């Protein structure tokens, strides 16, 4: 599953961006209630990629939301990549929850005119038979997004079994995403599934891309307004050579990846 949770702030109308804007900088009780609803939703999945998740600032009540969701969803492993800090008010990034323990976690800074975008790369197993999961949140602007997709094409080209999930802020059939898919041999099982805005989904901008070496099954979008995005999920059948181990520790060290040139 992939879910842009908007730092735990629910949205049900466009005007909430204005009337609820204070919730982006100040804590409120509904945020925790909303996180509990999100935790209940993701609890049935094995792996969950999160975007716009707060790592513990004023607006979240200094709660690391990745950790909170992992705890309340019964996920034994979690990790977090903090990308954009606004003083003590907001500290957003990517998160990952899993029932299985990875062998390594890397964080990569994505190129762009405005810093604050990144990729959380979670590796299960080693070498040719391993499974890599990349959680991404790409830029709103086309030019920066194109740079970021080219960077991902280079950084992820050694992965045989690969899943790239997240908020792409563009359609999967856009030329930039098509180039990524061609370079990395990715299929798009969530193609055409609209995720934004959550109260009346019209745009398919949240995707789960899967290597052709993996068998993608049922894909679906959940009709909930826990965020301004809907979560998207897909069933994936792994080949026999990919062996996953149940998680025995909640978090491991995140290794900085190579920064964009």
| Tokens (6 digits) for 53 | 């998740």
Determine the Cα–Cα distance for residues 37 and 43; give it in Å rounded to an integer: 10
| Alpha-helical segments (H) within 77-233 | 142-155, 175-184
Give the torsion sign (CA, 58, 63, 65, 69).
negative
Burial of 182 from C-beta contacts in 10 A (0-12 / 13-18 / 19+): exposed
Q: How would you write the pLDDT of the chain (261 residues) with one tens digit per residue? A: 999 999 888 766 444 444 444 345 545 668 889 999 999 999 999 999 999 999 776 666 778 999 999 999 999 999 999 876 555 555 689 999 999 999 999 999 999 888 788 999 999 997 778 999 999 999 999 999 999 999 999 999 988 999 999 999 999 999 999 999 999 999 999 999 999 999 999 999 999 999 999 999 999 999 999 999 999 999 999 999 999 999 987 776 677 766 665
pTM of the model: 0.90
Determine the Cα–Cα distance for residues 4 and 79; give it in Å rounded to an integer: 16
- Domains, the chain, ranges and CATH? 2-252 (3.60.10.10)
């Amino acid at each position: 599953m992939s879910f842009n949770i908007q730092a735990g702030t629910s949205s049900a109308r466009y005007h909430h961006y204005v009337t609820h804007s204070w919730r982006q900088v100040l804590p409120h009780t509904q945020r925790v209630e909303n996180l509990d609803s999100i935790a209940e939703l993701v609890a049935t999945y094995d792996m969950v990629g999160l975007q716009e998740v707060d790592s513990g600032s004023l607006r979240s009540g200094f709660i690391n939301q990745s950790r909170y969701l992992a705890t309340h969803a019964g996920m034994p492993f979690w990790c977090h990549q903090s990308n954009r800090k606004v003083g003590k008010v907001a500290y957003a990034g990517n998160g990952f929850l899993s029932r299985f323990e990875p062998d390594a976690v890397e964080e990569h800074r994505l190129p762009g005119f405005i810093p604050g975008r990144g990729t959380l790369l979670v590796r299960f197993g080693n070498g040719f038979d391993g499974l890599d999961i990349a959680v991404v949140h790409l830029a709103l602007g086309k030019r920066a997004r194109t740079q970021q997709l080219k960077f991902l094409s280079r950084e992820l080209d050694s992965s045989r079994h690969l899943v790239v999930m997240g908020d792409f802020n563009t359609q999967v059939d856009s030329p930039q995403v098509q180039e990524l898919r061609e370079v990395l041999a990715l299929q798009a099982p969530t193609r055409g599934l609209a995720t934004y805005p959550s109260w009346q989904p019209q745009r398919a901008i949240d995707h789960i891309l899967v290597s052709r070496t993996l068998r993608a099954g049922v894909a679906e979008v959940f009709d909930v307004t826990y965020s301004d995005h809907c979560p998207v999920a897909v069933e994936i059948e792994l080949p026999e050579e990919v062996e996953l181990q149940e998680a025995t520790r909640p978090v491991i060290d995140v290794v900085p990846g190579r920064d964009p040139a």
